[in-house]
Amino acid sequence: MRWWAARNEGRAEFVVEVVLQNVEKRWGSVTAVHDLNLTVNDREFLVLLGPSGCGKTTTMRMVAGLEPVTGGEIRIDGERVNDRPARDRDIAMVFQNYGLYPHFTVGENIGYPLRLRKVPEPERGQRIKAAAAKVHLDDYLDRRPKALSGGQRQRVALARAIVRTPNLFLMDEPLSNLDAILRVNMRAELKHLHHELETTTVYVTHDQIEAMTLATRVAVMDQGKIVQLGSPEEIYSNPQTLFVGTFIGSPPMNLLHGRLDNGVFTNSSVRLEGWPISASGDVVLGFRADAVSLAEPQAGNLSGKVFAVEYTGSGLLVVVSVGNAMVTAFGDLTKRPTFDDLVDLRLDPSAVFVFDPATGDRIPLPSKGA
């Protein structure tokens, strides 16, 4: 029970590390989580990112103790918790649907975990006020949830989670029900809250922007497995698979299918020379919009017809059909092409990732040292 004792001695030397070792979850013939290995470091904000159905919620529920594991081990601060019931794991969860009690006021909702733990007044009232203040709800303590906006309800759920300084926060798509502006605001609130509280957090989302902006590290999941784990920068700039490359980034990574022979990439409409790679065979080239730009006539290495031009406020996204592929390039506002213009594009070969189309694995290029 080291983590309970340590908590009462103050946050400074108190470590909450969560280890998932060979964790598996099966329901009959369905395996939702396969042999998952992950260490969540103390005070880290770890994001589980992946498409719907990849096993994020299941993983979270196993950590929370709401779902028994069918294989492997979960340790919190070195202690095996497989058989420890949820209420004894000292974890606070925040869900997508808020889970507020409609007949309780905001203050009563926030204070509920303290009531369960028989925290007496006036301490309870003080802690409710402090938690509400952290999420800017001080003036709403007497309202009921139905008299709040979605964003405010989500903040009540957050305040209820932070009111009792748990060991660990688990958040499952907490912003997914909010509209776009609120989501962006709440993202910053969450990030700041984590900076203040430093509570180890596991956060689940299918939204890659949310993952990139919030995470200390991102674990990208696909079909019940972690396919890449790293800082947002690593995940973005060094994707190890086609899946990770295309799942991360906005606009999505551009892809060109073709063949590589003796350092020359070709498909029916593209020829790109000078790849520092001796292997030959089918490949997929992947590159982001910032690796390709509109070029002066004849100065490019790709050409195509403008399919659409999207104004983004600070610039343009120019979508060009290059053979049977669509290539999105960042453009500047001074040279605004229009539909069906024939344009040349300059692709920076050093910013191109080469993938094996059969396995989806990245093929390392000597010059990039990857």
Q: Give the separation between CA 123 and CA 121, rounded to whole angstroms.
A: 5
Q: Is 52 in the site for ligand ADP (CB under 6 A)?
A: yes
Q: Is the dihedral angle over the CA atoms 167, 172, 178, 181 positive or is it negative? A: positive
**Choice between 4 and 27, CB closer to ligand ADP:** 27
Selected from 27, 123, 179, 335, the binder of ligand ADP by CB under 6 A is: 27
Selected from 33, 57, 95, 107, the binder of Mg ion by CB under 5 A is: 57
Selected from 16, 20, 32, 69, the binder of ligand ADP by CB under 6 A is: 32
Q: Is 201 in the site for ligand ADP (CB under 6 A)?
A: no
Total site size for ligand ADP, rule CB under 6 A: 11
Q: Give the separation between CA 65 and CA 84, rounded to whole angstroms.
A: 7
**Choice between 92 and 319, CB closer to Mg ion:** 92
Q: Give the separation between CA 141 and CA 208, rounded to whole angstroms.
A: 34
Q: Is 58 in the site for Mg ion (CB under 5 A)?
A: no
Q: Which of 328, 300, 302 lies closest to 316, judged by CA?
A: 328
**Minimum separation from the CB atom of position 228 to ligand ADP (A):** 16
Q: Which does 364 bind (CB under 5 to 8 A by kind): ligand ADP, Mg ion, none?
A: none
Q: Are 122 and 36 in contact (CB under 8 A)?
A: no
Q: Is the dihedral angle over the CA atoms 8, 10, 13, 19 positive or is it negative? A: positive
Q: Give the separation between CA 293 and CA 302, rounded to whole angstroms.
A: 10
**Minimum separation from the CB atom of position 51 to ligand ADP (A):** 7
**Choice between 57 and 200, CB closer to Mg ion:** 57
Q: Is the dihedral angle over the CA atoms 117, 122, 124, 130 positive or is it negative? A: negative
Q: Is 59 in the site for Mg ion (CB under 5 A)?
A: no
Q: Are 149 and 107 in contact (CB under 8 A)?
A: no
Q: Is 30 in the site for ligand ADP (CB under 6 A)?
A: yes
Near ligand ADP by CB under 6 A, which window of 35-43, 46-54, 141-149, 283-291? 46-54
**209 torsion bin: left (phi>0), alpha (psi -120 to 50), beta (else):** alpha
Give the CA distances from residue 97 to residues 100, 135, 156, 239, 340, in Å, rounded to whole numbers and listed in that order.
8, 18, 12, 32, 46
**Choice between 23 and 291, CB closer to Mg ion:** 23
**Minimum separation from the CB atom of position 81 to Mg ion (A):** 21
Sites for ligand ADP among residues 318-357 (CB under 6 A): none
Give the CA distances from residue 83 to residues 6, 202, 249, 306, in Å, rounded to whole numbers and listed in that order.
21, 20, 39, 60
Q: Is 99 in the site for ligand ADP (CB under 6 A)?
A: no
**Choice between 53 and 68, CB closer to Mg ion:** 53
Q: Is 56 in the site for ligand ADP (CB under 6 A)?
A: yes
Q: Which residues contribute to the site for Mg ion (CB under 5 A)?
A: 57
Binding site for ligand ADP (CB under 6 A): 27, 30, 32, 50, 52-58
